[in-house]
Structure formats: C-alpha cells, structure tokens
Amino acid sequence: MRTQVGIVGAGPAGLLLSHLLHRSGIDSVVLERRSREYVEHRVRAGVLEQGSVDLLRRTGLGDRLDREGLRHEGIELRFGGTAHRVAMTELTGRAITVYGQQEVVKDLIAARTAAGGELRFEVEDVRLAGLDRASPVIRYRHQGREEELHCDFVAGCDGSHGVSRSAVPPGVLTEYERQYPFAWLGVLAAAAPAAEELIYAHHDRGFALHSMRSPEISRLYLQVEPDTDIADWPDDRIWSELRTRLETVPGWSLNTGPILEKSVTGMRSLVVEPMRWERLFLAGDAVHIVPPTGAKGMNLALADVALLGDAFAAWYQEGRDDLLTGYSDTALRRVWRAQHFSWWMTSLLHRLETQDPYEAKLQISTLHYLTSSRAYATSLAENYVGLAEV
C-alpha cells in the first residue's frame, strides 16, 4: 500500500492531521491499535481553547460543536470559604468551550469516513522502518494479515506509550519530566452540573474540580494519593469528599447522581525534544504530557497538527521545506508556555505532603492576589483560553 503521509494513532491529533491533509489534497492512512468504538467513547479532556474551536470551525467541523458545546466565559476559584470568578472573556475577548475529546473524535471519524478516508482500526504489531530514507515503511498486522504501508513521511500521534517515539535511535531525544506526588480521582456522573462554569477548589484536604460534559452529565475530580486503589472509593465516599471540598460557599450545594465511570490518573509533566527525526514527525501526547489542571492536553495536540498540516501543504504544493524543518522549534514554544501554565495552576491549587505552613500561606496569598489584581487575572485568563500567538 502507498500513501503520502502515514499516521500512527487515531486520537484527535492523528485524525485532525488526516482531515487537514485531505483538505490540502494530500493522501494519508491512519493506523490505530484500538477499535473504533473504543476511541469514540474513551473519556478524556473536555475543554477546548478559543483557537481550537476556531480551527475546527474553519475546517468544517463546527456544526455539532456549535450545537452541543458549552461556551464558558469564566471560571471560578474557590478558597477560604469564598468564590471568585475570573471573567475570561471580559479580560481577553476570548472564551473556552466544553466539548469532550470523544465528541471531537466522533466528528473527525465521521468527516474522514464521509470523504473516503483510509482509517484502519485494530491493527497490531506496528513497526516503523526506513525513517531516515526517502520512503519510510510502516509494517503492521491487520485482520490476520501482514501489511506494509509505504509513505513519504510518518506522523507519530500514538501517545506516550506508542511505538513512534521509541523508533527514534537512542541519544537523539531528550526528555524533561516532572512527577507530581498526587493523582486525580475522576468521576463521570449522571447529575446536572451544579454550576454553569468550572469550579477550581483549593481545600485543606486537597484540590477538587467541578466540571461538566453536558447539561445532564457532571465531571468531577478529587486530589488523592498516587497509589490510590479505586476499590477503596465507593460512591458514597466519593460524594462525601466532593461535598467537603466543594460545598464551602454558603448556599451552594453539589448535585449528585449515579456514577457512570471512575478512575485514578497520575499527574506528570513531560516534554520530549526535538519533535522530529528525519522523516518522522511526532505530535500530541507522543512528545508532551501536561497535568490536566490547565486543560491543555488536547489543545496542544490540535495545535501541533495544525502546524504539521501547513508544513506538509507547503512541501507538496510549493516545494518548500522550511515549515517542516522549523516544526519542532515552532511547536515547542507553545508547548513550553502550556507546560509552565499547567505547572503553575497545579502548584497553586494542590496540597502537598511536603508542604510546610509557610508554603501553604504563600498559596493563599497568591490566590488573594490573583482574585484582586486585574493584571494577574488577565494573565491566567490569557493562558487558559489559549494565547493567539506564542
């Protein structure tokens, strides 16, 4: 089989890249080890920056997003028994939209299928070869048959545990990593959200987040120990702890309901440089991970492939290689800005076992300054809704 760009991974990054390439008249094939049903239903990130929304609309993917997405013009910071709204749109002119990653994936798969795109799910034993030659090869097994995909370039969009990054020779890539001494216990509940905007709560017992996926479904998180066993958290305990950390403002109460899903996710920051080696271009979680506090993961992945889409178009349509050559440096400027913001939000709102009383007081002082200074609040808002240029 022959194509121009072979794409490993059918998450938002791989699927959007395939969509962008199609719009530029460039052929691609997407390979995914999971089933279509799995990737369309795995619950991940749910906050889209203004730039991500604009990109999806601009490329014909805005219909359902505009109907079902929840536009938010602010977030709430809750600490010390008080609630403080950060008016993001008033401060920046931009907003966020709550629209689950699985919904973005569904829209992308529908668009690629309607256009006759080549998507292969449930592939096994993917191997990359010839990445330093003019025609790389992706070997894999599909429906019991050994297959070969010959291409001009390979885009590795298969996450931090995928095969693409490991195909780069030792010594080429440098990893920058930060492990956090806590995790998030996340639940999806059949309960109407108790607030119209996201609530970030700082509490002596640990961080909590009140979010949503629709007018009927709430998404909630608790800071827990990194070795937490989900079996130790029955539904009643989860709701009790959420009430303790969130119901700190007089007159406000949490809506409860059946818990549909629950999981524990460790927190870490990771950047791998460079994001390219020879004919392999890496994007999304394959080269960077952020703690979800700043809602940057999916947005970074979409920003990566927007750059790649333009770079491949310049190569095929104009014979230019400057955008491909500069891809890693350009993408990393946004990645490191998002890394810093995510680290800052995480450090500000979570309680650490090693934290002494002095550091705890500094957190509260920073929160007071943030909620009383228009300049500081504008900095948070600019980063949260997504900087237009980095």
Query: Among residues 19, 210, 288, 296, which one is catalytic?
Result: 296
Query: Among residues 72, 202, 203, 350, which one is catalytic?
Result: 72
Give the other-Cβ count within 10 Å of 159's Cβ: 20
Give the separation between CA 352 and CA 338, rounded to whole angstroms. Answer: 22
Query: Among residues 12, 136, 193, 292, which one is catalytic?
Result: 292
Known catalytic membership, residue 202:
no
Known catalytic membership, residue 203:
no
Q: CA dist 198 to 96, 219, 221, Å?
A: 11, 10, 11
Neighbouring-strand partners of residue 271: 176, 288
CB-based burial label for 119 (10 Å; 0-12, 13-18, 19+): buried
Give the separation between CA 56 and CA 62, rounded to whole angstroms. Answer: 6
**Nearest alpha carbon to residue 138 among 273, 275, 312, 279:** 279
Known catalytic membership, residue 226:
no
Query: Among residues 200, 203, 291, 350, which one is catalytic?
Result: 200
Give the separation between CA 31 and CA 110, rounded to whole angstroms. Answer: 16
E strand intervals along the chain: 5-8, 28-31, 47-48, 70-72, 75-79, 82-86, 96-98, 118-120, 123-129, 137-142, 145-150, 153-156, 174-189, 199-201, 208-212, 218-224, 259-273, 276-277, 280-282, 288-289
Known catalytic membership, residue 296:
yes
Instruction: Name residues whose C-beta falls within 8 Å of residue 81's C-beta, 6 or more positions apart in sequence.
Output: 248, 249, 250
169 DSSP 8-state letter: P
Prior bond of 136 cis (ω within 30°): no
The upper half-sphere exposure of residue 350, i.e. CA atoms within 13 Å in the direction of its Cβ, equals: 24
Known catalytic membership, residue 72:
yes
For residue 21, give the H/E element and its range.
Answer: helix 12-23
Active site residues: 72, 200, 292, 296, 384
